[in-house]
A and B are shown apart, each in its own frame.
Chain A
Amino acid sequence: MSTPDTNTQVAPHGRTTGAGRLLITVYGIFAISATVRASFQIIFHFADAPLAYLLSAFAAVVYIVATISLAKPGPGWAKLATISICIELVGVLVIGAASVFDPAAFPHATVWSTFGRGYGFVPLLLPIIGLIWLYRHRESK
């Protein structure tokens, strides 16, 4: 065992600190970009693809809820984060699979189309990493 010197600090433990802040940052970026994109799609081109754009809006809401609940300490927020990230995982898997098997039904890209390929598959990895993070920082009742 080495004693940590004063310059290098041991990473703090906890759901909302350390690496958790990086996870919250990435969720925040997705929340902002999904919200802005969905808003403009709905305002300017809603008639083109109502279903795809409503799904975009739904995805945006899920990302917002996940970001806020990840950032807030406490078991209640952890539970909300788990629920929203599970919805996100189901969403990316269902929309991803649907867009691969039936591309005609999803001619307009949503953040979850083809498992988030347009976003470097980050939308697919993010909920998995998020759930692992929440599991490793679960609070005992």
Chain B
Amino acid sequence: MTLDAWFIIGTIVGLGSTITCIVAAAMKKKPNDITLLTLAAVELFIVAYTIGSLVRILSGQDMVGEPWEFWGYMFTAAMLPVAGFYWAMMERTHWSNYVMSAVGITVVVMLARMAQIWYGTTMAAQALQQGIGS
């Protein structure tokens, strides 16, 4: 998997959000402006990544893997902060911060998979296939 600037920035934003939310939850804080803003930062990054990817495709750089898979991940990643926000706001306790902490790390995992699709590295399936020696 190639580490490009998108993945590195996305990882910083995503993990930053997760760590902030976990710390806030451990301090028994209810969701506040800080934890909600980290979620907004994740969403903003996904929007920027969408625009950036469109620009790359329009300028002739195409992804190696399957576009539907890439955009499927992109769409799901864009929905996660929204869903996490609603799910957290329905019950405002410090547990809501733990719920929101799940968003950032999940987006990072999806970004890793998206980078694999973009640069064309097959995923864990390859590790599973060593048993058949191909």
Contact = CB atoms under 8 A, between A and B. Distances in A.
Contacts of B127: 117
Interface stretch (B5-13, B45-53, B57-65, B93-101): B93-101
Given A32-B76, A40-B68, A25 B102 contact: yes
Given A32-B76, A40-B72, A117-B124, A22 B132 contact: no
Interface in A57-87: none
Specify the main secondary structure of chain A where it touches its partner: helix
B128 A18 contact: no
A109 B132 contact: no
A21 B128 contact: no
A19 B98 contact: yes
Contact of B87 (A25, A33, A36, A99): A25
B76 A11 contact: no
Nearest to B130: A103
Interface in B76-95: 76, 80, 83-84, 87, 91, 93-95
Contacts of A18: 91, 93, 95
Contact of B98 (A22, A33, A106, A117): A22
A7 B107 CA distance: 30
Interface of B: 28-30, 66, 68-69, 72, 76, 80, 83-84, 87, 91, 93-96, 98-99, 102, 106, 123-125, 127-132
Given A17-B91, A24-B87, 8 more contacts: A17-B95, A18-B95, A25-B87, A25-B102, A44-B68, A107-B129, A118-B125, A118-B128
